Amino acid sequence: MATIPAAEQPPWTTPEVFLRPVAGGAEALTHGLDRFSGRWLKLRDLAPAKLKELRQVATIESIGSSTRIEGAILSDTDVAAVLRGITFDSFRSRDEQEVRGYADVLRTIFDAYPDIAITESAVKSLHRQLLRHSTKDARHRGEYKTAANHVEAAHADGRRVVVFRTAPPAETRWWMPRLLDEFNAGWASEAWHPLVLIADFVLWFLTIHPFQDGNGRLSRALTTLLLLKAGYEYVPHASLERIIEDNKSGYYAALRASQTTVVRDPTQYREWLEFFLGALRTQQRTLEVTLEAALAELKLVAPQERILEAIRARGPQTSTGLATALGLTARTTRYHLAQLTGRGQLVATVRRAGRLYSLPAD
C-alpha cells in the first residue's frame, strides 16, 4: 500500500464520537478467537513448569521487539543481559534506557493489571515509568505533547517527510479524556467485543499520538494491559510484540491506512482491525503449538489426565478420594500422583495423613 503524501493527508477534524463499530461488522473477524481461552486453561494446568519458562522468554522477546520496532538495535540476548544489570557502550545507552523502561512497565502490568484503571492518571503514570530511565526524555515524562510530533519517514538522501499528521498539541489535552471516557463506557457495555474495542482504542491513541515520544511502545504495553483485563490471561506467555516486529511492514501499512480514513469516518478502520486480530490469532497458534509439544514430551497418560481433570473441576483432593472417584486402585493413584507432583503439575500439602493434591498457584 502506497503511503498518502503529506500534502494529501486529510485535515484533522474532531469526530462526534471517536470509538465506533467498524463498518461492515466484525463478527466474522473475531470468530473463534475466544475459543482458545478454554483450551488455554487445560494446557496451562498440564504444563505449569513450561509456562514459567515461556513467560520468561516471551517477556524478553516483547521488550526486545517493542524497542526495536522504534529503532533500537539490542538483540534479545542483549536485552537479557541488560535485565541482569550489564551495561554496554555509550552508543547503545539510549537503547538500554528504553529496554529498562519497557521492562518496568511490563512488570507493573503483569503484577497489578486487575487494579489499573484506564484513566488519564494511569496512562500518564505508565508513560512516566516507560521513560523513567531515559535522560533525554526527562522533560516530558508523563506529560502530553507541547509540540507537533507528526510521523515522519527518512529518505536515503537524508530528507525527512511527514507520512501522517497526528493530532495538534493544543487539542490533545481535550481529546485524550474524551477518548478514555468513550473507551470506559464501551468497556462497561455489552455492545462491543472487547478485542474490537481494544483495537479501535489503540488506533485512536496512536492517531492522537498524545506524548512527545514513546507512543508506539506505550500503545503496545497498553494492548497487553487491556488484553489481560479482558480475561486473555495467556498473553504474557507468547510475545505479541514479536509478531508485530516480524510483520512490521504490514503493521505500519494497516495502521497508516486506517489512520487516514478514521479521521474522516470513525467506522473506517477495517484494515487495522484485520491486522490486529490476525496478530492475535498468530499469538494463539504459536502458544498452542509450543504447549502441545511440551505435553508430548511429558507423555501424559490417561489416568494422569483424569486426575488433573478431577482436581481442576473439584478442587484439592486426597489420594483416597481420587481413587474412589476415578475407579483406580490406591497404588495406581499414588503412583500417578507422585509422577504429577514430581513434574510440578500438582503440589501436595506437607502432612502425610490426608495429604491434599492441588494445581500449582499461578
Q: Tell me: the pLDDT tens digits for 37-64?
A: 888 887 777 677 778 889 999 999 999 9
In a domain, 229, yes or no: yes
Per-residue pLDDT band at 12 (split at 50, 70, 90): low
In-domain check, residue 10: no
249 in the same domain as 331? no
Are 282 and 317 within one domain?
no
Strands 356-358, 347-348: pairing kind: antiparallel
Residue 69 three-state SS: helix
pLDDT tens, residue by residue, 289-299: 888 887 777 67
**Could you report the per-residue pLDDT of 327-362, keeping only the tens digit for each?**
999 988 998 999 898 888 888 987 666 789 998 876
Question: Cα–chain-centroid distance for residue 174?
Answer: 27
Question: DSSP for 228-275?
Answer: HHTT-TTGGGS-HHHHHHHTHHHHHHHHHHHHHHHTT-TT--HHHHHH
Question: Beta-carbon neighbour count of residue 52 at 10 Å?
Answer: 14
Number of domains in the chain: 2
pTM: 0.82
Domain residues for 353? 301-358
User: Which pLDDT does position 83 carry in this prediction?
Assistant: 93
* Residue carrying the nine cell digits 512497565: 105
106 and 247 belong to one structural domain:
yes
Residue 142, in any domain of the structure: yes
The verdict on residue 76 lying in a domain is yes
Residues 99 and 208 in one domain: yes
| CATH number of the domain where residue 189 is located | 1.10.3290.10
Query: Which residues is 144 bridged to in the sheet?
Result: 211
Asked whether residue 209 falls in the same domain as residue 265, the answer is yes
Final residue belonging to a domain, choices 266, 294, 322: 294
**Same domain membership, residue 307 and residue 343:** yes
Instruction: Render the burial of 88-102: b for 16+ CB within 10 Å, e for the rest.
Output: eeeebebbbbbbbbb
CATH number at residue 337: 1.10.10.10
Q: Three-state SS for 33?
A: coil
Mean of pLDDT values over 189-199: 96
Residue in the structure block whose three cell numbers are 535522560: 135
Residue 11: inside a domain: no
Q: How confident is the model at residue 277 (pLDDT cuts 50, 70, 90)?
A: very high
